[in-house]
Copies of this chain bind each other. A is one copy, B any other.
Amino acid sequence: MTTHPSLAIDLDLLAPFSGTRCVVTGGLGFIGSNLALTLDAAGAQVDVIDALVPEHGGDVRNLGDNRQINVVLGSIADERITLESVQQADFVFNLAGQVSHLESMTDPLRDLELNVRSHLSFLETLRHHRPGAVVVHASTRQVYGRPRYLPVDEEHPTAPVDINGIDKLAGEQYHLLYARVHDMSISALRLTNVYGPRQNLSKDGLGFLPVFIRRVHAGQPITLYGDGEQLRDCMHVNDVVSAVLLAAIVPDARGQVFNLGHPSPMSLRAIAQAMVAQQPGSDITTVPWPSDLAPIDIGSFSGDYSKAKRILGWEPHVDFVDGIADTFAFYREHTWYQSPI
């Protein structure tokens, strides 16, 4: 497997983490495992904390044959689980959470526990036992709801359209409040649609990108809802990892929230077409919006990431065609991602 050069993470971003102690919550998940492996390769001592909540994307196999990363299984809500890792941490990357919008509507109290209470509890642990750690929180563009204008900047009103969005917003706001009121080095990134290696392809509810990838691999048609003309930013996970690392090392990031985004937002139809082009014989079909999803659809979205560019010096480097080719190559090599659980 060869990797497109644009996918490499800048070595200048890795150097500051050499010899540091890093905690990655949700580190057995998609973005978390990519980050943990990157930090490990940078020479950091990495503790992963992950509850392996059923229906989430986490899997111990995401860390491959790495034996250096210390894996702690349990909830970030439980100080007995987190304390040893947290007490020594220089950097805490708080990526744990539940991401399914639909599941948040059918079991809202569970989403509240996973995205709100556990994070508030974790922040209390940090405040009492390691207030000097640098913390980066993974938030989501979902806090904006249906955009009033495009591209959406950080000043856009927050108006989430589902329980998951309400809960993620509360979790993010707690982080920024602790930065301000308790004088902690915390920043938050509002992620958007992310793809790349180590994403759980076997489950629905983790976003449309892994579903599309799974269906193309399985020789099933990609199903588009409605006209498929809704825009999305597709972020390769390495660009997200770069943003997370920058948020940790740029002092001016402290107390700030940053959008991520891509210079070339794509329609769902164009995304599907780019994927289908990777696999001869695959196809696209169109159906009306399912009744349970229509009320929480947000239409087109694209993020204004000029604040991240200005303050973090970040911008995405991976073009979708390069990134998706690399992603498909990864999943052809690691076939277990495609087998149903």
Contacts and interface: CB of A to CB of B under 8 A. Distances in A.
A124 B112 contact: no
Interface stretch (A47-55, A153-161, A267-275): A153-161
B105 A124 contact: no
Interface stretch (A15-23, A89-97, A115-123, A311-319): A115-123
Contacts of A296: 181
Interface of A: prevailing SS? helix
Contacts of A162: 177, 181
A340 interface: no
The count of identical subunits is 2
A326 interface: no
Interface residues on A, range: 20 to 34
Contacts of A155: 157
A167 B167 CA distance: 10
A149 to B, nearest CB: 13
Given A155-B157, A163-B174, A181-B296, A109 B105 contact: no
A120 B164 CA distance: 13
Interface in A58-79: none
A121 B109 contact: yes
A172 to B, nearest CB: 9
Nearest to A294: B181
A173 interface: yes
Contacts of A163: 120, 174, 177
B166 A177 contact: yes
Interface in A121-163: 121, 123-124, 155, 157-158, 160-163
Given A108-B124, A166-B177, A167-B170, A157 B157 contact: yes
Contact of A112 (B120, B157, B160, B181): B120
Interface string A200-219: 00000000000000000000
Contacts of A169: 169-170
Contact of A109 (B109, B124, B177, B295): B124
Q: Which 4 residue pairs are nearest across A and B when measured between Cβ atoms?
A: A170-B170, A166-B173, A181-B295, A157-B157
Given A117-B117, A157-B158, 18 more contacts: A105-B181, A108-B120, A108-B123, A109-B117, A109-B121, A109-B124, A112-B116, A116-B116, A120-B163, A155-B157, A160-B177, A161-B177, A163-B174, A166-B170, A166-B174, A167-B170, A169-B170, A170-B170
9 contacts: A105-B181, A108-B120, A112-B120, A155-B157, A161-B177, A161-B180, A166-B174, A167-B170, A180-B295
